């Protein structure tokens, strides 16, 4: 399943809302089977970067490549085919409120496979069981708790066994034990299905527990200031912003006056 | 040893029975849900037909690819075996498959979670409807009561809402509504005149088209048409706005901040619409008369001055007051219906849709009922 070519390559990406440039010169690669963390302080553009990766927002400049294919230069049909290989969990779950949990999961199975209704139902039940929601098939999203909605959101994202799973703030708003279970689930999926996982988060415990690679976006300079394995970044990175972030501010690191701290791109 | 095998797309399933009662399930090829993988029924049939099978084991050495379809297949087999108390040996399965199977069965289904699909008996459903009807009637009365006490608080100066909100709502339900009110009222005036003209022409009494249009519009049609337009336009918008606030927990936030949502959201809308509706009605009356005048002058050859004088003669001030009073009442009803359905809104996107629909229906029904009541009262009073 492993191939040397990166699964996702981001090249000189510029993200902008109208004339306002949020981040520029983003270049990094996500390998197959990586748990890739997009991190940074609030408002630095983490979720926006994810919207660029999943094809909801067109970059102001630069490219997003899946394997050798450039997403935004591809034909619309090809782009649809690429998007079908993504599983996405949105920050609030974004479950369709007029459908039951089973129907939420079944929708993409019905669209993209020729399975019989009973088989679709079995797969939906399996996905719900995988996230610990066995028996909740006929519940509507409004009838379950916030944490359950998150898990159901992951079950929906996994519906057609995606190659890449995008998770936007998966553990925000969850109790520590549920957050831990969610981390375990992500690793389990990666290990058993070989799924590449891209996670937007600023939960430090999650970052260190599951992250194998990462990019750090800085709001102040409007570009990335670190890449690499989060644990190694904690040990090796000298950039004050990254240090403060990864130690919860305890490092009290500060740049020397008049000096621009060097970014750390670990390979 | 007996062999049963069936090539199924690219996923393959072979069953071998060994003399010591073991059923060996061989999985081979690619098991993907896109290529219709084999069904677990084959394994089920085999176990049912041969009761001597004492164990089930797997051989997945030739399995080259798999996804969730393999997992659902295995879960079905394992489930069936555990019902029949046949032990299953999962050794031969790929590590990833085994881990996911463990995960899928890790959190057992909580008892009582699953819902029965059965239908409620007829009487139970009737009873439920009756309870819901009674509850919604009580909610409606409670809402009207709360709004009334909020109005009293307003009169005594204890009620709180923002003046800028009131002005914004006034603009939304007056000036912004003028184009649609103009169009509809003008057309209703035209229609009334055309319908009347056909009959009146038979008696050579075309001039009375002015009476028909004047009285009809000023006394009833102007207010009713404006009311229906505003129920569809503004009542629906009130319900959608307040309903969305309910979904976003904004109403809860108002309450916990110590601000009555009735004061803050309902009062400005109620005031704005009840003050603006009579004005809109007056405007609609004028447009309706202009519509009639166009037919009278262009279609029936009446003199403009003649038509004007006849209208002035026919339409009494009493008619105008009844029309304006109706408009005022409709304004209150539409605002109450819109705000009430918004406040009663559930917490989902579809609930906002239901609230909007319900606001328009409630608004229009109450307009018609109110018209009937006003007409009866006017009849009794002889005006």
Residues B73 and B222 in one domain: no
Q: Which residues of A touch B103 (CB under 8 A)?
A: 130, 185, 188
How many angstroms separate the CA atoms of A172 and B118, rounded?
A: 38
How many angstroms separate the CA atoms of B195 and B146, rounded?
A: 45
Residues B205 and B270 in one domain: yes
pLDDT on residue A2 = 45
Task: Using CB atoms within 10 Å of the CB of residue B107, give its burial: 0 to 12 exposed, 13 to 18 middle, 19+ buried.
Answer: middle
Candidate from B33, B114, B348 with C-beta closest to A142: B348
Report the complex ipTM: 0.71
- Backbone dihedral region for residue B154 (phi beyond 0: left; psi -120 to 50: alpha; all else: beta): alpha
Residues B171 and B282 in one domain: yes
pLDDT on residue A233 = 92
Tell me the average pLDDT across B105-122: 76
How many angstroms separate the CA atoms of A227 and A39, rounded?
A: 10
In sequence order, the β-bridge partners of residue A168 are: A200
B369 in a structural domain: yes
Percent of chain B at pLDDT exceeding 90: 59
Q: Could you tell me what percentage of chain A is helix, strand and coil, using 3-state DSSP and rounding each to the nearest 5?
A: 35, 25, 40
Q: 3-class SS at B38?
A: coil
Query: Token pair for residue B351?
Result: 């609930």
* pLDDT per residue as tens digits for the range B72-101: 899 999 988 988 888 999 888 988 888 888
Domain ranges of chain A: 1-85+162-226, 92-161
Residue B220 has pLDDT above 50, yes or no: yes
Which stretches of chain A are DSSP H helices? 46-53, 76-83, 101-112, 117-130, 146-157, 176-193, 204-210, 230-236, 240-246
In sequence order, the β-bridge partners of residue B58 are: B25
B122 in a structural domain: no
Query: Token pair for residue B64?
Result: 């080259």
Residues B243 and B172 in one domain: yes
The mean pLDDT of chain B is 90
pLDDT on residue B9 = 54
Strand A35-40 relative to strand A213-218, pairing: parallel
Instruction: Give me the domain span that covers residue B36.
Output: 2-106
Residues B214 and B284 in one domain: yes
* pLDDT per residue as tens digits for the range B147-183: 999 999 889 887 778 888 899 999 999 999 999 999 9
Contact at CB, A129 and B104, closer than 8 angstroms? yes
| Tokens 């399930």, located at residue | B25
Residues B97 and B198 in one domain: no
Residue-level pLDDT, tens digit, chain A, 267 residues: 444 578 999 999 999 988 888 999 999 999 999 999 999 888 888 989 998 998 888 899 999 999 888 998 888 888 888 888 889 998 878 888 878 999 999 988 888 888 888 889 999 999 999 888 888 999 998 888 888 888 899 899 988 889 999 999 888 777 888 788 888 888 888 888 889 999 998 889 889 999 999 999 998 889 999 999 999 999 988 899 999 999 988 877 777 777 788 888 887
Residues B221 and B319 in one domain: yes
Top-level class of domain A1-85+162-226: alpha beta
Candidate from A123, A139, A141 with C-beta closest to B68: A123
Candidate from B96, B113, B348 with C-beta closest to A136: B113
Contact at CB, A140 and B348, closer than 8 angstroms? yes
Cα–Cα nearest to B296, from B183, B214, B175, B180: B214
B131 in a structural domain: no
Q: Which of A97-101, A160-164, B109-113, B345-349 has the lowest mean pLDDT?
A: B109-113
Q: Which tops the pLDDT comparison, B37 or B315?
A: B315
* Number of Cβ pairs < 8 A linking chain A and chain B: 79
B129 in a structural domain: no
Strand B2-8 relative to strand A69-70, pairing: unpaired
pLDDT on residue B163 = 86
Residue B330 has pLDDT above 90, yes or no: yes
Q: 3-class SS at A17?
A: strand
Q: Which tops the pLDDT comparison, B25 or B35?
A: B25
Contact at CB, A138 and B97, closer than 8 angstroms? no
Distance of residue A33 Cα from the nearest chain B Cα, in angstroms: 14
How many angstroms separate the CA atoms of A220 and A241, rounded?
A: 10
Chain A: residues touching B (Cβ < 8 Å)? 97-98, 109, 112-115, 119, 122-123, 125-127, 129-130, 132-142, 160-161, 185, 188, 191-194
State the best of B30, B96, B103 to mutate against chain A, taking most chain A CBs within 10 Å: B103
| Distance, CA of B123 to chain centre | 27
**By CA distance, what is A112's nearest residue in B?**
B34
pLDDT on residue B3 = 42
Number of domains chain B contains: 2
Residue B134 has pLDDT above 80, yes or no: yes
Residues B167 and B261 in one domain: yes
| Tokens 């040893």, located at residue | B1
Inter-axis angle of helices B41-49 and B68-83, nearest 10? 20
| Distance, CA of B220 to chain centre | 30
Residues B149 and B61 in one domain: no
**By CA distance, what is A132's nearest residue in B?**
B107
Instruction: Give the CATH number, domain containing residue B16.
Output: 3.30.750.24
Residues B166 and B87 in one domain: no
């Amino acid at each position: 399943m492993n191939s040397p070519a990166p699964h996702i390559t981001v090249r000189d990406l510029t993200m902008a809302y109208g004339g306002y440039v949020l981040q520029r010169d983003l270049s990094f690669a996500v390998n197959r089977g990586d748990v890739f963390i997009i991190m940074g302080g609030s408002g630095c553009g983490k979720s926006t970067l994810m919207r660029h990766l999943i094809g909801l927002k067109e970059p102001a400049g630069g490219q997003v490549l899946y394997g050798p294919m450039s997403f935004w230069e591809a034909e619309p049909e090809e782009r649809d085919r690429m998007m079908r290989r993504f599983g996405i969990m949105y920050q609030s779950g974004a479950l369709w409120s007029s459908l039951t949990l089973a129907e939420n999961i079944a929708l993409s199975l019905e669209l993209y496979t020729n399975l019989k209704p009973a088989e679709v139902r079995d797969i939906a039940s399996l996905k719900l069981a995988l996230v610990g929601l066995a028996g909740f098939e006929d519940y509507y999203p409004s009838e379950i708790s916030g944490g359950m909605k998150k898990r159901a959101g992951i079950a929906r994202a996994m519906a057609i066994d995606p190659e890449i799973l995008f998770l936007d703030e998966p553990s925000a708003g969850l109790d520590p034990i549920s957050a831990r279970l969610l981390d375990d689930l992500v690793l389990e999926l990666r290990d058993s299905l070989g799924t590449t996982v891209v996670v937007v988060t600023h939960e430090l415990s999650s970052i260190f527990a599951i992250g194998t690679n990462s990019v750090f976006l800085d709001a102040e300079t409007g570009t990335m200031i670190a890449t690499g394995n989060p644990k190694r970044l904690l040990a090796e990175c000298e950039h004050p912003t990254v240090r403060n972030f990864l130690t919860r501010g305890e490092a009290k690191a500060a740049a020397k006056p008049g000096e621009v701290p060097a970014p750390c791109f670990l390979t | 040893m007996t062999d049963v095998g069936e090539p199924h797309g690219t996923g393959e399933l072979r069953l071998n029975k060994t003399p010591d009662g073991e059923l060996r399930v061989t999985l081979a090829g690619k098991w993907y849900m896109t290529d219709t993988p084999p069904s677990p029924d084959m394994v089920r049939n085999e176990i049912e037909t041969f009761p001597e099978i004492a164990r089930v084991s797997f051989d997945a050495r030739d399995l080259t690819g798999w996804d969730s379809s393999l997992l659902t297949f295995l879960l079905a087999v394992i489930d069936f075996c555990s019902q029949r108390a046949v032990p299953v040996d999962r050794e031969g399965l790929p590590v990833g498959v085994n881990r996911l199977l463990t995960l899928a069965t890790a959190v057992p289904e909580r008892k009582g979670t699953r819902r029965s699909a059965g239908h409620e008996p007829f009487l139970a459903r009737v009873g439920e409807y009756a309870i819901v009807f009674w509850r919604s009637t009580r909610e409606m009365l409670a809402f009207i009561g709360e709004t009334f006490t909020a109005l009293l608080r307003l009169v005594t100066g204890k009620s709180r809402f923002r003046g800028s909100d009131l002005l914004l709502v006034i603009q939304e339900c007056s000036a912004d509504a003028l184009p649609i009110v103009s169009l509809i009222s003008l057309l209703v005036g035209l229609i009334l005149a055309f319908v009347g003209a056909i009959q009146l022409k038979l008696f050579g009494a075309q001039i009375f088209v002015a009476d028909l249009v004047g009285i009809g519009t000023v006394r009833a049609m102007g207010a009713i048409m404006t009311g229906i337009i505003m129920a569809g336009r503004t009542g629906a918008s009130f319900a959608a706005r307040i309903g969305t606030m309910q979904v976003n927990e904004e109403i809860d936030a108002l309450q916990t901040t110590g601000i009555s949502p009735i004061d803050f959201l309902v009062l400005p809308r109620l005031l704005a619409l009840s003050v603006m509706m009579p004005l809109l009605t007056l405007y609609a009356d004028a447009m309706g008369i202009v519509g009639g005048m166009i037919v009278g002058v262009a279609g029936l050859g009446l003199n403009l001055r003649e038509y004007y004088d006849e209208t002035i003669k026919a339409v009494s001030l009493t008619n105008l007051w009844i029309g304006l009073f109706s408009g005022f009442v409709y304004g209150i009803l539409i605002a109450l219906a819109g705000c009430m359905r918004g406040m009663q809104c559930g917490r989902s996107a579809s609930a906002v849709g239901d609230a909007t629909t319900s606001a328009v229906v409630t608004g229009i029904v109450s307009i018609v009922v109110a018209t009937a009541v006003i007409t009866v009262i006017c009849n009794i009073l002889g005006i």
